[in-house]
Structure 1
Amino acid sequence: MLDELLGRAELKDRIEALQEEKRHLQRRAEAEEERRSEAARKRQEAEAEVNRLEDRIGGLEERIGRLSATDDVEVSFRGTETLRGDRRDEVLARLDSFETSAEGALTAMVTEDVPDALRDVLGERTALIRRAAPCLVCVDDAGLVAAGLAPPTPPAPFVEWGDSFRIDRSWFAPVKPTWVALVRSDRFALGVYAGDAVTPLDEIESDVRGTHSKGGFSQARFERRRDQQVDEHLGRAREALEAHLGADAGEESRAGSGADGPTPPADADVVVLGEQTVLGRFTDLADRTATVDATGDPADALRSAVRDFWAVRLSLL
């Protein structure tokens, strides 16, 4: 009552209200401080992530710059050569005899992407590998040897350090007798390739119209007739190959197939060479097919095809 008379009750109520407001403001201040701390933490994390990404971008840009600089450098092969026969065997023997310390010789089969290991060793000369690919690259860590070879039957891509180069002769030349067929739209020849010599076994030559002359058949009729002639020729060629390989041809070979001859071993390789447009008819019979440009009579064309297919391109890096 006395407080009311003196007016202190109102003052006490005011004080309590102010204290409550103070506590409320303190709680707000504390909450705001927590929010600021959380915001600062998130900002620091974001800044760290930005720095990490900037470093990564910088590294990638530097790598792109190195690659671009390598591509722009004017480099050329120290020499190129097409290897056949004894010369091929001599070069392969030299590479095969190379010996160095452990992890001193690098061998890589390159088809598309150049391995980083080769980039590190060759530097600006890496651009030469792209020109020579697909190729088997042999380099040593001292820079004494740097060569690329284009094997006719290349292995799967690989990269390998060792104390010598990894050279497999079967990548460059047959290590056992190999059946080789040449197939064109008007010629077929089959032989066995062994010891750098081709032994002809069979041949078929068909009269297939070449070009359409004025008058007579229309162009459409001429093309239909020619397609029929090519189809008949390829059928005879396939029957002859099946007969020689001991496959089930489904019927006795037609005249001219000449199925008499040596029978290949069960593991003999079969290579079919010729025009790209006709090779699809023989892929199921062949271990490997390739396009070659061989003309002339069947036997000579077969030898020419074998010579071209098993030629090895040597590029000195």
Structure 2
Amino acid sequence: MLDRLLGRAELRERADELEADLAGVREERDSLERQLEAESDRRADAVTARQEAAERVNRLEDRIAQLEGDLDRETEREELSFRGVERLGLDAAERVLDTLDGVAPGRERALTATVGVGDGDDGDGGVPTAAREAFGDRAPLLSRATPCVAVTDDDGLVSAALSPPVSPAPRVTWSDGFELERSNYLPRGQYSLAAVRADVFAVGVYEGRERVTVEGFRSEVKSDHSKGGFSQARFERLRDEQIDAHLDRCRTALSEHAVEPLYLVGDRAAVDRLAETATPTPAATDAVDATGDPETTLSAAFREFWTTRLYLI
């Protein structure tokens, strides 16, 4: 009986040892499971981080490619230059138009295309598709000359753009010769030209290049800067009132003396304000640097307005 008891005791001890071993194994198992879960989380985080890094790399590569493309285009634009640029007075403009009229490339081999004018068939950069294709690598130069009329032929013997005083109607045409409306470049028939500044106004009626009548005046308007005695705000208010009164006189003079078409030029701020309500409505406006008494201002404005800029592409 004692042996049996001793045997049971040994079995109990052995069972306790096994229980202890089992607890240790379970703890080790749980630890390994936790490590596996942590490793799985780290692996998932690593995969996510790798994907995000790959996306950032792709975005950066795309941005670099875009910037390199922009740089290449900018370099091309910088390397491109006009073969020549000239300001043509009336006589010179007429000679150029005569020369272009004499060019006859053949049936539908001469392109005339407006660039940056009205609602024309503008393609990339405001240049009509036909002009971009015809001028090829030098087409970006047309954007620098806008608004203009581009002319070229199939053989590339003519490659130029003209910016006339009067904006032409939008057109893109292939024809036997260049289609240039001379009244956009040269004064034709009867018209009015008015020059306005903040304190000076003159309007003339013309027949072609000859001035038939002229009306003008100078208004009392304070200078741009206060000379003392007034607060700046009061000075500016008084000056604005004087300019308003001057422009009212200009509107009255236009309604009484101007004929259509009316071309209104002068100081840009004064031109813009007067053009909004002028009668007749101006057919063209422009900023010109013309100064002096009314008649001198008008004469200088006439010469500057009737100037065509020629770009050799």
| Fold shared by both chains (TM-score > 0.5) | yes
Give the structure 2 partner of residue 49 of structure 1. Answer: none
Q: How far, CA to CA, are the matches of 1:281 and 1:85 in structure 2?
A: 27
Which residue type is aligned with residue 275 of structure 2? Answer: F
Structure 1 residues 183 and 69: CA distance shift in structure 2, 3 A: closer
Give the structure 2 partner of residue 292 of structure 1. Answer: 288
Structure 1 residues 99 and 70: CA distance shift in structure 2, 3 A: farther
Equivalent position SS for 2:189? coil
**Distance apart, 1:82 and its partner CA:** 0.8
Matches within 5 A, 1:112-261: 113-245=126-258
Equivalent position SS for 2:270? helix
Aligned residues of 1:149 and 1:312 also touching (Cα < 8 A)? yes
In angstroms, what is the RMSD of aligned CA positions? Answer: 2.4
Structure 1 residues 207 and 269: CA distance shift in structure 2, 3 A: same
Give the structure 1 partner of residue 93 of structure 2. Answer: 88
1:282 pairs with 2:275: yes
Unaligned residue ranges in structure 2 (runs of 5+): 1-64, 117-124
Equivalent position SS for 1:281? helix
Q: How far, CA to CA, are the matches of 1:86 and 1:79 in structure 2?
A: 19
Equivalent position SS for 1:307? helix
The structure number with the bigger radius of gyration is: 2
Q: How far, CA to CA, are the matches of 2:76 and 2:203 in structure 1?
A: 47
Q: How far, CA to CA, are the matches of 1:278 and 1:222 in structure 2?
A: 19
Query: How many percent of aligned residue pairs carry the same amino acid?
Result: 44
TM-score (norm 2): 0.69
Deviations 1:297-316 (A, max 9, x none): 11111111121112000011
> How many corresponding residue pairs?
234
Aligned residues of 1:179 and 1:191 also touching (Cα < 8 A)? yes
TM-score (norm 1): 0.68
Give the structure 1 partner of residue 29 of structure 2. Answer: none
Give the structure 2 partner of residue 312 of structure 1. Answer: 308
Give the structure 2 partner of residue 273 of structure 1. Answer: 265
Q: How far, CA to CA, are the matches of 2:191 and 2:166 in structure 1?
A: 13
Give the structure 2 partner of residue 77 of structure 1. Answer: 82
Equivalent position SS for 1:173? coil
Q: How far, CA to CA, are the matches of 1:236 and 1:66 in structure 2?
A: 51
**Distance apart, 1:233 and its partner CA:** 1.4
Any runs of at least 4 consecutive aligned residues in structure 1 with deviations exceeding 4 A, and if so which?
65-71
Equivalent position SS for 2:139? helix
